[in-house]
Amino acid sequence: METLAHWINGSAVTEGDSVRTADIINPATGVVSGRVPLADAERTQQAIAAASDAFPAWRDTSLSKRTAVLFAFRELLNARKEELAEIITAEQGKVLADALGEISRGQEVVEFACGMPHLLKGGHTENASAAVDVHSVRQPVGVSAIISPFNFPAMVPMWFFPVAIAAGNTVVLKPSEKDPSAANWMAELWKEAGLPDGVFNVVHGGKESVDTLLSDERVASVSFVGSTPIAKYVYETATSHGKRVQALGGAKNHMLVLPDADLDITADAAVNAGYGAAGERCMAISVVVAVEDIADELVSKIAERTRSLKVGDGTRGADMGPLVTVEHRNKVAGYIDAGVEAGATLVVDGREGDVDADSADAFLNPTLFDNVSPDMSIYQDEIFGPVLSVVRVKSYDEGLALINDNKYGNGTAIFTNNGGAARRFENEVQVGMVGVNVPIPVPMAYYSFGGWKSSLFGDTHAHGAEGVHFFTRGKVITKRWQDPSQLGINLGFPTNG
């Protein structure tokens, strides 16, 4: 059984037989396709050292040359994205169309980063004081660590590394051990695009590797996406070691549906956003907040569409694939049990139904609950699976209060044809990303991605202008060329004049 290599300083680095490994499993078949090494602190430090050594030269590389490498990477990625999608489907389980969509959204960030010369422009003020000029610059921070989750093995790293690299930083990527091969594939693509050795490194591992990245003094910044408890740990640990951190956590995304909404469009959106990628999206809609006047009809329409979905192997034309592991599938099924026990109405039971796959162990069909209340675990917890809950409210105000009282604030949506209600929702909802008749409001790359409350630790979102600022730091230069008129002693604090 082949063991995946790390990618350090521009080449594959293999471990010895004694290293700890984890199985790489295709969740649609149950077949072990390989093993991933779990790096110790020493191996992780080797990757950090490679990035640290490569930083000075890459920092001093002209913007024109950096941008040329970005454009080359973009072209290679676009030409071969089907190959990457197959890797993602084989290890993560999502259907091929969804994997391609993930890559395309990541590619948007690569294209955004191709404009880095414009994004890094500073300011200049001539004659701010007598014969004194002032200008500002943005400079790279250094070694940037990226710790990415299993659900988007290509897109989430691409939220960060194109901006980091284009700005002049070097990168150490620690992907999820559940689907690690996409990271190596992208590392090889960077080399083919002409990126110098050491600028982009991949180290595989678990907690020991992560803790090394969080504590090593050569690492300047940490970008993380994952669950809220781990995001909080990453933020607290890395900031205590003097690093800047953007740690994106969990979510419980609500869709508020007002009585004037088109219920067919709304039902389609709820199903697409609730069950896409088997619900393993931080931007998935997991709660439909239905104003009571239309709740019965909306639930009926959602249920009809839910029952029509085809579940199976992502390479066989299914609508929805498996969950990432059997263990996670069983955890999600446990939430269905808990919802029934708590008294919610189980409209569609995902524990039943056919699956088109060689192994059904990691599969769970879409599940729909009605009459869910905020005290139930299926409402309170981020289930991260194909479980959609309907909460009934009496009014817009009650629905808004429900959303704002939730501890998460990642994404939300309102479905309505009332422009005034939509505008009020945009202003009043306490969530970082808002959709109006858009169920998954993931911003374009030139805007920033990030939530509020327990969905984000740190004050900087991913990509967009905030991403550029995260991977750079400001410097202001005040200068005056020497002139005989400057002669003289004056111990007073300098003033403008």
The pLDDT of residue 497 is above 80? no
Surface-to-core class of residue 325, CB atoms within 10 Å of its CB (0-12 exposed, 13-18 middle, 19+ buried)? middle
pLDDT, residue 489, reads: 86
pLDDT, average across residues 203-209: 97
Rounded CA Rg of the chain: 25
Question: What CATH code is carried by the domain that includes residue 89?
Answer: 3.40.605.10
pLDDT, average across residues 428-437: 98
Range of the domain at 371: 253-436
pLDDT, residue 483, reads: 81
Task: Give the count of domains, the chain.
Answer: 2
pLDDT, residue 86, reads: 98
What crossing angle do the helices spanning 419-428 and 396-405 adopt, rounded to 10°?
Answer: 20
In 3-state terms, what secondary structure has residue 478?
A: strand
Element containing residue 282 per DSSP (H, E): none
- How far is the C-alpha of 154 from the C-alpha of 158, rounded, in Å? 6
pLDDT, residue 234, reads: 98
pLDDT, residue 293, reads: 92
pLDDT, residue 488, reads: 84
pLDDT, average across residues 83-88: 98
Number of H helices, E strands in the chain: 15, 22
pLDDT, residue 482, reads: 85
Q: Is residue 300, in this structure, part of any structural domain at all? A: yes
Query: Do residues 416 and 290 make contact, with C-beta atoms less than 8 angstroms apart?
Result: no
| Averaged pLDDT score across all residues of the chain | 96
pLDDT, residue 162, reads: 98
pLDDT, average across residues 193-206: 98
Q: Is residue 483, in this structure, part of any structural domain at all? A: no
The pLDDT of residue 17 is above 80? no
**Residues 239 and 124 reside in one and the same domain:** yes
**Residues 270 and 188 reside in one and the same domain:** no
How confident is the model over 147-169, as pLDDT tens digits? 999 999 999 999 999 999 999 99
In 3-state terms, what secondary structure has residue 165?
A: helix
pLDDT, residue 313, reads: 97
pLDDT, residue 490, reads: 82
- Helical ranges in 389-490 per DSSP H: 396-405, 419-428, 464-470
DSSP 486: G
**Residues 11 and 144 reside in one and the same domain:** yes
pLDDT, residue 492, reads: 83
Q: In the chain, what percentage of residues exceed pLDDT 90? A: 95
**Residues 243 and 379 reside in one and the same domain:** no
How confident is the model over 43-76, as pLDDT tens digits? 999 999 999 999 999 999 999 999 999 999 999 9
pLDDT, residue 178, reads: 98
**Residues 84 and 185 reside in one and the same domain:** yes
Q: Is residue 488, in this structure, part of any structural domain at all? A: no
Query: Do residues 170 and 142 make contact, with C-beta atoms less than 8 angstroms apart?
Result: yes
pLDDT, residue 321, reads: 98
Q: Residue 444: CA atoms inside 13 Å, Cβ hemisphere, count?
A: 3
Enumerate residues 6+ apart whose C-beta is below 8 A from 39.
6, 15, 19, 47, 203, 204, 205, 208, 209
What crossing angle do the helices spanning 181-193 and 63-92 adopt, rounded to 10°?
Answer: 150
**Residues 237 and 326 reside in one and the same domain:** no
The pLDDT of residue 496 is above 80? no
Q: Looking at this protein, which amino acid is placed at residue 407?
A: K
Q: How far is CA 476 from CA 122, 127, 129, 460, 481, in A?
A: 9, 15, 15, 21, 17
Query: Do residues 344 and 367 make contact, with C-beta atoms less than 8 angstroms apart?
Result: no
pLDDT, residue 330, reads: 98
Q: Is residue 275, in this structure, part of any structural domain at all? A: yes
Query: Do residues 45 and 52 make contact, with C-beta atoms less than 8 angstroms apart?
Result: no
- Active-site positions read 282
Q: Is the pTM of this model over 0.75?
A: yes
- How far is the C-alpha of 312 from the C-alpha of 314, rounded, in Å? 6
Residue whose structure tokens are 């909404």:
261
**Residues 341 and 382 reside in one and the same domain:** yes
pLDDT, average across residues 75-89: 98
- How far is the C-alpha of 443 from the C-alpha of 479, rounded, in Å? 40
Query: Do residues 426 and 472 make contact, with C-beta atoms less than 8 angstroms apart?
Result: no
pLDDT, residue 421, reads: 98
**Residues 171 and 259 reside in one and the same domain:** no
In 3-state terms, what secondary structure has residue 361?
A: coil
Confidence bin at 130 (pLDDT 50/70/90): confident
How confident is the model over 228-252, as pLDDT tens digits? 999 999 999 999 999 999 999 999 9
How confident is the model over 276-312, as pLDDT tens digits? 999 999 999 999 999 999 999 999 999 999 999 999 9
How confident is the model over 386-420, as pLDDT tens digits? 999 999 999 999 999 999 999 999 999 999 999 99
Q: Is residue 268, in this structure, part of any structural domain at all? A: yes
Specify the long-range contacts of residues 11-16, CB closer than 8 Å, at least 24 apart. Answer: 11/197, 12/184, 13/43, 13/46, 15/39, 15/43
**Residues 53 and 165 reside in one and the same domain:** yes
The pLDDT of residue 314 is above 80? yes
The pLDDT of residue 257 is above 80? yes
Residue among 102, 193, 190 nearest 148 (CA): 102
Q: Is residue 492, in this structure, part of any structural domain at all? A: no
pLDDT, residue 19, reads: 86
